[in-house]
Chains A and B, each alone.
Chain A
Amino acid sequence: MFRRLETAGRVETVTVSVGGKPVTLPRGETAAAALVAAGEAVGRTTPVTGAPRGPYCMMGVCFDCLVMIDGAPNRQACMIEIREGMRIDRQDGARRLGG
């Protein structure tokens, strides 16, 4: 859905995995941006009907970008900054306890 503007300057990067796929993007971006950079429109499916959802508001209001981060469920991808080696995975249906 999106592409990144080319930049002439040097940018520090971080590599994360999105659904097991490595994605490299500038340090300081969010896990939701990592989904976008990976071309993943869907971050979760809903607990009620299993409908696919992706980031909607990008500012912490809608909770539609909930994903699993490093195995922990229900993380707001748009509010979490990426770290080297972070694992971002789809959250399907209701979250599991003790994850």
Chain B
Amino acid sequence: MSAQWDLAVIGAGPAGMTAAMTAARLGLKVGLLDEQPRPGGQIYRNPAQPTPEVLEALGEDYAHGMKLIERFRAADIDYRPGATVWDVTADGEIAFLRDGVAGEIRARHVLLATGAIERPVPVPGWTLPGAMTVGAAQILLKTGGYVPDHPAVLVGGGPLLYLVAWQYLKAGAQIGAILETVPRSNLWSALPHAPGMLRQGRLLAKGRRWLRDLRAARVRRIRGVTDVRIEGDGAAEAVSFQARGRRQTIQTPLVLLHEGVIPNTHVSLALGLEHGWNDVQQWWQPRLDEWGRADKTGFSVAGDGAGIWGAEAAEHLGLLAAHGAAMALGGDSLDQTGVAEARTALNAAAGARAFLDRFYRPARSQRVPAADDTIACRCEEVTAGQVRHAARLGALGLTQAKAYTRCGMGPCQGRLCAPTVSALIAETRGLDDADVPAYRPRPPFKPVTLGALAAPAFRAKAG
């Protein structure tokens, strides 16, 4: 018999952990499935053996995450780490893999807290070993204290880029350069939202401190960078770019890319929840009510998976979504104070978010490859030119382009190429991004072997 929960939370980042703790306090029988071996999500990705040197480099926000994790571990939650969810049905049956063995759980309500992924940065050479995302490099820092052994070059824009540069500085690693690709004209669309940003004093002070420390350390920052190419034979050796009217090249074996994060909508899209296009963040997000509930009964979404709000807001969204789920299940105990506090904090965060999203909105050239021979789909090595050709032949979205070119058909199932492919189709067909339908993932969400599916039956037989 499979277990039965009132609420199943998928994902143990700040939104999922807070939602689970809140729901448990409200009297629900709560379980949480997470793919990682330890709670924290990607933002508070949590080393098995934290060392003082790494914690020092990561700073105070990470220390806050460690406290949240401690509270989560002490709460009354059926927490199942190392569980890869590969299917969720409309009636709340969740199939997962744990230690290579398939398992199933049924829940009356399912809350997706699957967080964010980094936006793909499809520039020429981005598939070369040695080209990776800034977030990937930060995960290596968080989990193992790894820092570049040669001066790395960071390319792109957004808060994470400067945070990681600053963390490297604190850890004593050298930075070759920061190449800033965000268009300076973004300031004009962001400016009307400046008051909201200015009201977030703590956030602003943090950003100012990173930039001041980087300046004091004489880290080279090059603004107005366009036409980025990663060069090398079999691995990254250099990055070249256009800035101040001339082409420049910096030798480096490590190029770290970042153009912001987008909601991880793989499961919410697969479930067929209604989504809307967010034109500022340039990706889809589920349409939710004020309690985080989706259009389909029995499903909620909280945290960055519902639209990028950041780690702090994710905790508030998690608290609200737990209440929404409890109410949907007929509960009437409400933490009035907690809800009011969460709403106030979210209103304040929304002001800063409106500014940041517009200020760091990626340049089109970093999002949509100009050259036809740049790879759009890493798994199947489908180029931008092949996708454009498919769009001219009539492909309306990734789902058709897949049949024409195999893009999105590899093991990542379109997670990484969908933003690029959709943008290429929109461009070729002269449509708005919102008019190219979102891709529709199907289960299994992650590859499952027949052996894993058969394992429980074999065990039962053997037992």
* Bound complex: CA A48 to CA B411 (Å): 13
Whether B132 contacts A8 by the Cβ 8 Å rule is no
Does the CB pair B139–A4 fall under 8 Å? no
A42 an interface residue at 8 Å Cβ cutoff?
yes
Report chain B residues within 8 Å CB of A56: 127, 131-133, 136, 378
List 16 A-B residue pairs with CB atoms under 8 Å apart, sorted by A's residue number. A2-B147, A2-B149, A3-B147, A5-B53, A7-B52, A27-B49, A42-B234, A52-B234, A53-B127, A53-B129, A54-B132, A58-B133, A58-B136, A59-B136, A60-B446, A61-B264
Q: Is A71 an interface residue (CB 8 A)?
A: no
Counting chain A residues whose Cβ lies within 8 A of the other chain, the interface size class is: 35 or more
- Is the CB–CB distance between B35 and A66 below 8 Å? no
Which residues of A pack against B, CB within 8 Å? Answer: 1-9, 11-12, 25-30, 33, 36-37, 41-42, 46, 48-49, 51-64, 66, 74, 78-79, 81
Structural contact, A59 and B144, CB atoms closer than 8 A: no
B interface bracket (residues with beta carbon within 8 Å of A) = 35 or more
B101 on interface, CB distance cutoff 8 Å: no
A67 to chain B, nearest CB (A): 13
Q: Which of B136, B253, B264 contacts A55 (CB under 8 A)?
A: B136
Closest to B150 in A: A1
Please name all residues of chain A whose beta carbon is closer than 8 Å to the beta carbon of B235 when the two chains form the complex.
Answer: 41-42, 52, 54
**Do the beta carbons of A1 and B381 come within 8 Å of each other?**
no
CA distance A42 to B48 in the complex (A): 25
Q: Specify which of A29, A41, A54, A62 is in contact with B143 (CB 8 Å cutoff).
A: A29
Give A37 to B144 CA distance when docked, in angstroms: 10
Q: Contacts A5-B171, A6-B53, A61-B117; is A55 near B127 (CB within 8 Å)?
A: no
Question: Main SS of chain B's interface residues?
Answer: loop
Contact A46 B146 (CB under 8 A): no
**Complex: chain A residue closest to B131, CB-CB:** A56
Asked whether B416 lies within 8 Å of A57 as measured between CB atoms, the reply is: yes
B127 and A51 contact, CB distance less than 8 A: yes
- A72 CB to closest chain B CB (Å) equals 9
Residue pair B130, A1 in contact (C-beta under 8 Å): yes
Decide if A58 touches B139 in the complex (CB within 8 Å): yes
Contacts of A3 in B (CB 8 A): 146-149
Residues of B within 8 A of A53 (CB): 127, 129, 378
In contact, B51 and A5 (Cβ under 8 angstroms): yes
Determine if A33 and B143 form an interchain contact, defined as CB atoms under 8 angstroms apart: yes
Q: Please, which residue of chain A has its CB at the minimum distance from the CB of B118?
A: A57
What residue of chain A has the Cβ atom nearest to residue B146's Cβ? A2
A61 to B84, CA, bound (A): 13
Chain A, residue nearest B46 (CB): A28
A74 and B135 form a contact (CB under 8 A): no
Q: Residue B132 contacts which of A6, A26, A57 (CB distance < 8 angstroms)?
A: A57
| Smallest beta-carbon distance B376→chain A, Å | 13
What CA separation (Å) do A52 and B84 show in the bound complex? 27
CB B336 to nearest CB in A, in angstroms, measures: 37
Residue of B nearest to A49 (CB): B381
B35 in contact with A64 (CB, 8 Å): no
Known interface pairs A28-B47, A63-B412. Does A4 touch B132 (Cβ–Cβ under 8 Å)? no
| Chain A residues closer than 8 Å to B133, beta-carbon distance | 56-58
List the B side residues contacting A62 at CB < 8 Å.
Answer: 378, 412, 415-416
B residues within 8 A CB of A74? 411, 447
Instruction: Scan B90-126; emit 1 where CB is below 8 A from any A CB, else 0.
Output: 0000000000000000000000000001100000000
20 more CB-based (< 8 A) A-B contacts, given A29-B143, A41-B235? A2-B146, A2-B254, A3-B147, A5-B145, A5-B147, A5-B172, A25-B144, A26-B144, A48-B381, A51-B127, A51-B381, A57-B135, A61-B117, A61-B415, A62-B415, A63-B410, A64-B127, A64-B378, A66-B411, A74-B411
**Which residue, B54, B378, B381, B447, has most C-beta atoms of chain A within 10 A?**
B378
Q: Cα distance A59–B379 when bound, in Å?
A: 16
Whether the pair A27, B48 counts as a contact (CB closer than 8 A) is yes
Q: Chain A residues with Cβ under 8 A from B132's Cβ?
A: 54-58
Contact pick for B54, options A5, A46, A57, A59, CB 8 Å: A5
Contact for B52 among A8, A25, A58, A66, CB less than 8 A: A8
Closest chain-A Cβ to B409's Cβ sits at a distance in Å of 11
Q: A33-B140, A49-B381, A51-B381 are in contact. Are A7 and B253 (CB under 8 A)?
A: no
Are A61 and B412 in contact (CB-based, < 8 A)? yes
| Distance of A60 from chain B, by nearest CB (Å) | 6
Closest chain B residue to A54, Cβ basis: B129
| B307 smallest CB distance to A (angstroms) | 18
Asked if A26 and B136 sit within 8 Å, CB to CB, the answer is no
Contact between chains at B150 and A28 (CB < 8 Å): no
